[in-house]
Amino acid sequence: MSSTLVCLMLIAAPAAPAPDDARPAVFRITPLRPVAELRREALAATPPREPGPFKPVDLVELTKLDAGIRLDIRYATSDNFLGVPVYEQARAFLQRPAAEALLRAQRALAADGFGLLIHDGYRPWWVTKVFWEATPASGHAFVADPAQGSRHNRGCAVDLTLYRLADGKAVEMPSGYDEMSERAAPGYAGGPAEARRLRDRLRAAMEREGFKVFATEWWHFDYAGWRDYPILNVSFDAIGRR
Ligand SMILES: [Zn+2]
């Protein structure tokens, strides 16, 4: 390896440590059936048909908006509630108006020393079908019914948390991501006061820009215009090639 190449690799390395130090234990369910089997079936299935009209699809890759927007795409790793990777690529997209609103929230939070750490954005419909069918009925408040589609499927929902710009570390929140418990509710009154304050700070910044927090998940936000977009089933690597 040439010294020039080594030098370039060092420059390309992230400046801050991976934002995982405050990460609580990953919440897991026992999938009702093997995920590989559910995946095969879901990929062969067809999303529900909805009458339009819909706005044109214009999915924007979030990391291209601002260097302060970072990714921790759990579904591309085993660190998720199913315990196996579901995505083949760690990428995040939103429809353009939602992406622009997210960027405004990012800039407001940066003034307070925080960045946005994205867990998920646009999610192909077949993944929603896998989540629903893997999850016992007791957890169905936390996963979307594929017969309705998820707002993630429309490119209008985002799962995210905050990290500190000073050290790149994710902040502590009242629950872990995708934890199917009462602690995940945005109004949960327990846990450390500082964690609740940061949860509420994230929510205020997002809701000011037209997102609405989900009733059972402090990390999930729906963009106001989600009804204008269709349920999509396109893979990440096909986005921009259509
Ligand atoms: Zn979500």
For residue range 55-96, what is the model confidence (pLDDT) as tens digits?
999 999 999 999 999 999 999 999 999 999 999 999 999 999
Instruction: Quote the ligand 1 centre to 123 CA distance (angstroms).
Output: 9
Between the CA of 8 and the centroid of ligand 1 the distance, in Å, is: 36
Confidence category of residue 1, pLDDT binned at 50, 70, 90: very low
For residue 5, report the distance from its CA to the centre of ligand 1, in Å. Answer: 39
Our answer to whether residue 217 is catalytic in this structure is: yes
Q: Which residue has the tokens 């999303």?
A: 47
Extract the tokens encoding 95: 């429809």
Tens digits of residue pLDDT in 147-169: 999 999 999 999 999 999 999 99
Token pair for 22: 């405050």
**Contact of 98 with 225, CB cutoff 8 Å:** yes
Rounded to 5 degrees, φ, ψ at 166 are -60, -40
